[in-house]
Amino acid sequence: MNLLVMRFSAMGDVALMTPALVAIAAAYPNVQITVVTRGNFSPFFYNMPNVNVLGINLKKYKGIKGLYNLFHEMNVLGPYHSVIDLHSSMRSRMISLFFRLKGVKVFKIIKGRREKLQQVRRFRKKLNPLPHTVDRYLNVFRKAGFEAPIRKGPWINVDGLAKIYAKEYFQSIKLPKKEGMWVGFAPFAGHKLKEWPLHKSEKLIPMILEEFPDAKIFLFGSKEEAPILQALRRADERVFLVTGGKLGIRGELGIMEKMNLMIGMDSSNVHIAALMKKPVIGLYGTTHPYSGFGPFAQEDAGVLQVDLPCRPCSIYGNTTCFRKDFACMEMINPQDVIRRIKIILNLNTTW
């Protein structure tokens, strides 16, 4: 029996498929699972039994004709018992239609848009905890007749090539051996309103180094963000840059595996680190973990936020602050992050 599972973006949402897939693969060892996603996301699914990844370049499949060609490539790998649409985008719905016309059952995610809109509206908010994205994924499998409990993590594992990339990176920065506490810090996010003010990041870095003398900090970001990260580094020999490039996602996973702690925004870095079962601190302002996007299995200790009646004002961070003062992030101070680090480091038995 073969299941076809689709999710094309975004990176964090694709990564969050892993706990659901691990659960289904363990509960149904005779079921083959074909995952269709962007090719660069393939490393997330390493070492999952009975899970095969069809990594694609979506730029090759434009328009209805392109989607039909993609459907044909998927169909060749069948036949499928069911299609599990974990995206429910225009693209995935069109491909699902092609499969329906062939008589294949399709089950798609219910995103809870109405409940989320009630959370972010300015007046008469209803801020109740909604199902985590992982639970929504599992619900789709359940509707298809495949029910499974979440298994113990980590849910993302690192392959041999990622370890080689990481080893080469650490050798290039003259850190062949791990000593002390290694802290990852990703100060950026996909949307500006999800980011902590830069002046607070500037203060946090020296505070970490002062509070934890054996610490080394690794700043994660894109090649485009490298100049800002370089400025944050201030030429400190205990601060290093991890800026993608030839490392790619696979290399960053290898480096992230070596971290003792990951600090970031409500962004893919925090979600991926949590799925690797690394302690995380996610700074949440515009968005809220009650919307179902908290760091998986760390929705309490792994979230740093302040309670304000205007929160959340967005599900994805693609909005503007109607207060104009960005209070939700301005009220989180570097001292708060330091205190949370100390709390997390005392929870050693969890890890």
Mean of pLDDT values over 105-121 = 98
| 3-state SS class at 339 | helix
| Phi-psi group of 73: left, alpha or beta (phi > 0 → left; psi -120 to 50 → alpha; rest → beta) | alpha
**What sign results for the dihedral spanned by CA atoms 141, 145, 148, 154?**
negative
At residue 266, what are phi and psi to the nearest 5 degrees?
-75, 80
The CA-atom distances, in angstroms, between 273 and each of 44, 63, 242, 298, 300 are: 11, 35, 14, 11, 15
One-letter amino acid for residue 258 of the chain? K
Distance separating alpha carbons of residues 73 and 95, to the nearest angstrom: 11
Is residue 349 pLDDT above 90, yes or no? no
Mean of pLDDT values over 46-58 = 97
One-letter amino acid for residue 230 of the chain? Q
Look at residue 244 in the predicted model and tell me its pLDDT. Answer: 78
pLDDT by residue (tens digit) across 253-292?
999 999 999 999 999 999 999 999 999 999 999 999 999 9
**What sign results for the dihedral spanned by CA atoms 289, 294, 300, 306?**
negative
CB 108 within 8 A of CB 4: no
Look at residue 347 in the predicted model and tell me its pLDDT. Answer: 59
Mean of pLDDT values over 325-330 = 98
What's the whole-model pTM score? Answer: 0.96
Q: Find where tokens 């205190």 sit.
A: 339
| Pairing status of strand 182-186 against strand 51-56 | unpaired
For the chain, list the domains and their CATH numbers: 2-143 (3.40.50.2000), 160-350 (3.40.50.2000)
CB 299 within 8 A of CB 290: no
With cut-offs at 50, 70 and 90, classify the pLDDT of residue 5. very high
Average pLDDT, the chain: 96
pLDDT by residue (tens digit) across 162-219?
999 999 999 999 999 999 999 999 999 999 999 999 999 999 999 999 999 999 999 9
Choose among 263, 113, 79, 85: nearest CA to 184: 263
Look at residue 269 in the predicted model and tell me its pLDDT. Answer: 97
